[in-house]
Amino acid sequence: MNFQLFEKEVQEVLEEYRFGLKMLETELEILIKEFTLKHKYNPVEHVKSRIKTLESIEKKLIKKGFEVTKESMEKNIHDIIGVRIVCSFLSDVTDIVTMIQNSREIRIIDKKDYIANPKDSGYSSYHLIVLIPIYLASGVKYMEAEIQIRTVAMDFWASLDHKMRYKFPGVIPEEIQKEIYWCSQYVKMLDQKMLAVNETLKKSQEQER
């Protein structure tokens, strides 16, 4: 079975996810601007967002052993809406998570801290699964979305890791996996070092006032 059998229904649901993405983007923009005004500092380097394609959703359902149906898609795929927030320093990740937690529109339903507990590959990021409301003529509906929060250094590693893995259609050789993992450790050390330097600069500026 595939989505072509009921494409109209699926496209209607995807349009609701697009509404959800617009709502989420707007709310995040407001939260970031509010934080910047209050703290005289913008922790965000850039924000990327996307809606998962039907092909990608179908592949993920099959890979996980779920039925390829509209209902299964809504129940089992939690990142049809995806937003990635890239920030400067490790401390910014905590600030952004707190900022989202304090939102009246965004409801957090799950958290995965891959910074404190990186994946075996070395992948680091902070993931939130959230619900965002969309206001339809029929009433309010909550759409699920995934927000990834990571530093510039983490994003650099994850982007190159993704590209390199696509070069190997099968299992990546063990020696390559080890090299990729050790690169993630260098990134971790770089993040910690840059955070320390930034904190030193902040203290120096405070003393000069």
Alpha carbon 117 to chain centroid distance? Answer: 16
User: pTM, whole model, 2 decimals?
Assistant: 0.91
- What is the distance between the alpha carbons of residues 112 and 101, in angstroms, rounded to a whole number? 14
CATH class of 3-153: alpha beta
DSSP string, the chain: --GGGGHHHHHHHHHHHHHHHHHHHHHHHHHHHHHHHHHT---EEEEEEEE--HHHHHHHHHHHT---SHHHHHHH---SEEEEEEESSHHHHHHHHHHHHT-SS-EEEEEEETTTS--TT----EEEEEEEEEEETTEEEEEEEEEEEEEHHHHHHHHHHHHHHTT-SSPPPHHHHHHHHHHHHHHHHHHHHHHHHHHHHHHHHHHH-
Residue for token pair 């759409």: 143
User: Which residue, among 76, 75, 54, 51, has the nearest Cα to 64 in the 3D structure?
Assistant: 76
- What is the distance between the alpha carbons of residues 90 and 196, in angstroms, rounded to a whole number? 10
Backbone angles phi, psi at 138, to 5 degrees: -80, -10
Show me where the domains of the chain are located: 3-153, 161-208
Cα angle, residue 184 at apex, residues 183 and 187 outer, rounded to 5°:
90
Question: What are the pLDDT tens digits along the chain (209 aa)?
Answer: 555 545 677 888 999 999 999 999 999 999 999 999 999 999 999 999 999 998 899 889 999 999 888 888 999 999 999 999 999 999 999 999 999 999 999 999 999 999 999 999 999 999 999 999 999 999 999 999 999 999 999 999 999 998 887 766 677 788 888 999 999 999 999 999 999 999 998 888 777 76
User: Which residue, among 89, 109, 103, 100, has the nearest Cα to 150 in the 3D structure?
Assistant: 89
Backbone angles phi, psi at 100, to 5 degrees: -70, -40
